Amino acid sequence: MTNKVVVLGSLNVDTTLHIDQMPKPGETISAKSKTNSAGGKGANQAVAAARSGAQTSFIGQVGDDSNGIFMIDALKLDGINTDHVGINQVDGTGSAVILLDSQGQNSIMVYGGANQAMKTEVIADSQALIKSADILISEFETPQEVTYEAFKLAKQHGVTTILNPAPASKIIYGLLEVTDLIVPNETESATLTGIEVNDTDSMDQNAAKFSEMGIDNLIITVGDRGAYYHTPSDSGFVPAFKVKAKDTTAAGDTFIGAFSSQIDKDLSNIEAALVYAQKASSITVQRLGALPSIPTAEEIKAEYK
């Protein structure tokens, strides 16, 4: 079965500055090189889902500029339906500046632009698309109010909703009630629950706190260590595949997109889907850039026979 995945999210043109080490406050340093690529958490997740075989559609917004055309064309290259990507006449296409050091670690500064200018009205225009989906994904690079409207509609039609609360910020009232699965990284989870993530016990405590907040299905990604999962019936930890990272940009997004292509709507195969997602993200971190680094299903299967 091929999952129908809809991503409601951000479209950014990424500029990556390659540096030896992160600058200290007030320090001026030289970049070794500069690269531009298509990115944004939403775009990364959609491309990861599409390359792993999901029938993928996108709900988003770009500016009326060359970067907007660039982003729509980038999605179309992977066969993603862009009929619901709107053009904003006022705000420019989102962008990000990424500082990437020689160890593969990054710092990212994002300009929201048209992404943050999205209004809830876009969901009314996307009702048929959302109703027909198996999985609906969203994150916090677009307004939470828009996600809330989309998730409410999804839940009325039996669509499984996945929330990636990144970048972490206070979650608006009601959103978790219509979220089936929340997927933060360890820093985002700690920000939202107030409980630091450093071992299995603290992950269990985070899961208990999220349950108090209204959501029982949780995945916490912990970088090169792996991913913790918790559902009402099971919990566990899936270790990461050990590789040498060149660039961690889009690793978490690849994880979520690849996961969405494999997960059953009732989350019953969560552990198997997590293993597949870990395989996908382990390939991404060995390559440079956001979209260019995301593997196909064939590459994932060839790498891990």
Q: Which tokens is 286 given?
A: 């060995």
Classify burial at 258, counting beta carbons within 10 Å of its beta carbon; exposed 0-12, middle 13-18, buried 19 or more.
buried
Is 265 annotated to bind a ligand? Reply is no
Rounded-to-integer distance, Cα 59 and Cα 41, Å: 13
Q: What is the pLDDT along the chain (305 residues), one digit of tens a residue?
A: 699 999 999 999 988 899 999 999 999 999 999 988 898 999 999 999 999 999 999 999 999 999 999 999 999 999 999 999 999 999 999 998 989 898 888 888 889 999 999 999 999 999 999 999 999 999 999 999 999 999 999 999 999 999 999 999 999 999 999 999 999 999 999 999 999 999 999 999 999 999 999 999 999 999 888 999 999 999 999 998 888 888 887 899 999 999 999 999 999 999 999 999 999 999 999 887 778 899 999 999 887 76
Is 79 annotated to bind a ligand? Reply is no
| Residues annotated as catalytic (active site), given as ranges | 253
Is 293 annotated to bind a ligand? Reply is yes
For the chain, domains (ranges, CATH) are: 4-11+40-93+116-303 (3.40.1190.20)
Distances (CA, A) of 28 to 21, 22, 23, 203: 12, 10, 7, 39
Is 224 annotated to bind a ligand? Reply is yes
The DSSP H or E segment spanning 192 is helix 186-193
